[in-house]
């Protein structure tokens, strides 16, 4: 089963400490070696993006930035056996932030991706 993890966070005054970045790299290497990590990357601030929405049957495209206090800052895709395993990898990632970046606050959404097994075979 594949899961996408979307990380939202605040940007404290201090940049991410080198120890945090080292920890993230080690955890990513461990997840990749275990065959769990499919892809991951940091995301640019919403000021560089756009939002496309449909409201009342009308399509609109708006340039960023968006007003949310927490911005999407990264994502990861895991291929794991269960939601619990995806949550475990995500919790380890979040623990690094708690332990190594004072003042950082964030949240991660762990959402299962559809796969071929979720659709009935063609009739």
Could you state, in chain order, the average pLDDT of each consecutive group of 10 residues for the chain (123 residues)? 95 88 97 97 92 95 87 96 98 96 93 91 76
CATH of the domain at 73: 3.30.70.1060
Asked if the structure places residue 116 within a domain, the reply is no
Q: Are 74 and 42 in contact (CB under 8 A)?
A: yes
**SS3 at position 26:** helix
* Number of domains composing the chain: 1
How far is 107 from 21, CA to CA, in rounded Å? 18
Asked if the structure places residue 42 within a domain, the reply is yes
pTM: 0.89
Residue 96: per-residue pLDDT? 97
48: domain range? 2-105
Asked if the structure places residue 97 within a domain, the reply is yes
């Amino acid at each position: 089963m594949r899961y996408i993890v979307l990380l939202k966070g605040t940007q404290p005054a201090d940049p991410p400490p080198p120890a945090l970045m080292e920890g993230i790299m080690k955890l990513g290497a461990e997840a990749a070696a275990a065959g769990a990590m499919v892809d991951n990357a940091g995301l640019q601030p919403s000021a560089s993006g756009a939002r496309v929405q449909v409201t009342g049957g009308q399509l609109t495209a708006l340039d960023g930035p968006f007003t949310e206090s927490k911005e999407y800052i990264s994502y990861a895709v895991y291929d794991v056996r269960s939601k619990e395993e995806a949550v475990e990898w995500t919790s380890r990632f979040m623990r690094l932030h708690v332990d190594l970046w004072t003042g950082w606050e964030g949240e991660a959404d762990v959402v299962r991706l559809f796969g071929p097994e979720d659709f009935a075979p063609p009739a």
